[in-house]
């Protein structure tokens, strides 16, 4: 009975930005828990490689290449998935970018680029998918927030702003959509070894700082986010709503 709570068999999940890194790992975890997967990204060739990787695991998976920062492309892409692949039971809003620079030097163009991908896409995809879920009176939406939803570091103030907004948009989605049977929550990863963080991983000073700052004493491994995603995508979380689950090795727990 207890394991049945986490069984995703018969459910379909769309994971945005899932051709590599955290998104691909989350898709893999959800697929291993029984879900059929729709992988999304902008690079069709990279997406095909990720699809092949999941199919080797015996996971039912289809690609859906569209730009999540383009509202019209999102609507068309989600409507096509619903019509041609099947209804979505789970959405993971994972797509995101990082652009580092001192705030006083940050260009307006880069600010808008980052906000389109990190924040606007959560609204665009969340709304497009929720419109279908509302009619079915059920659905799970998981927004990928960040440790930076709560804390800032030098040179990433816009990223911090975008992820803080994702945290509160998650609460807003819950407030509007819980009455329709949807659960909307978020995962806040700490520092994980991903392509997005490669420059930090290769910086000896930052690497030493991170290991000393984190009670667990190390970088996170992307597969360590899978359990949180499975929980929030499954029946085990049916009365969990509007929450951010931080998976950070204890960073936020300590000064």
| C-alpha–C-alpha distance, residues 200 and 194, integer Å | 10
Q: Judge whether 160 and 148 are in contact, CB under 8 Å.
A: yes
Count CA atoms closer than 13 A to 104's CA, side-chain side.
0
| C-alpha–C-alpha distance, residues 140 and 178, integer Å | 10
* Closest residue by Cα to residue 51 from 23, 78, 91: 23
Q: Among all chains, which residue has been given the structure tokens 């819980």?
A: 178
Query: Which of these is catalytic: 124, 159, 191, 246?
Result: 159
* Closest residue by Cα to residue 196 from 103, 111, 117: 117
By three-state DSSP, how is residue 220 classified? strand
Answer yes or no: 159 catalytic: yes
Residues annotated as catalytic are 159
């Amino acid at each position: 009975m207890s394991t049945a709570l986490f069984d995703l068999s018969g459910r379909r999940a769309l994971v945005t930005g899932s051709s590599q890194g955290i998104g691909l790992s989350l898709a893999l975890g959800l697929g291993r828990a029984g879900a059929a997967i729709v992988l999304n990204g902008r690079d069709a060739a990279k997406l095909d490689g990720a699809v092949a990787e999941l199919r080797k695991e015996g996971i039912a998976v289809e690609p859906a290449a569209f730009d999540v920062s383009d509202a019209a492309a999102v609507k068309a892409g989600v409507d096509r998935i619903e019509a041609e692949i099947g209804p979505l039971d789970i959405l993971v809003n994972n797509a995101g970018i990082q652009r580092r620079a001192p705030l006083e030097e940050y260009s307006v163009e880069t600010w808008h680029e980052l906000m389109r991908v990190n924040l606007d896409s959560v609204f665009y995809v969340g709304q497009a998918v929720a419109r279908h879920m509302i009619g079915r009176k059920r659905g799970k939406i998981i927004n990928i927030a960040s440790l930076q939803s709560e804390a800032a570091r030098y040179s990433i103030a816009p990223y911090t702003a975008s992820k803080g907004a994702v945290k509160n948009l998650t609460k807003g989605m819950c407030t509007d959509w819980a009455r329709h049977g949807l659960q909307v929550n978020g995962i806040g990863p700490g520092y994980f070894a991903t392509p997005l963080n490669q420059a930090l991983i290769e910086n000896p000073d930052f690497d030493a700082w991170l290991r000393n700052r984190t009670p667990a004493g190390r970088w996170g491994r992307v597969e360590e986010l899978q359990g949180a995603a499975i929980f929030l995508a499954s029946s085990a979380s049916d009365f969990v709503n509007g929450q951010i689950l931080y998976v950070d090795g204890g960073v936020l727990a300590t000064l």
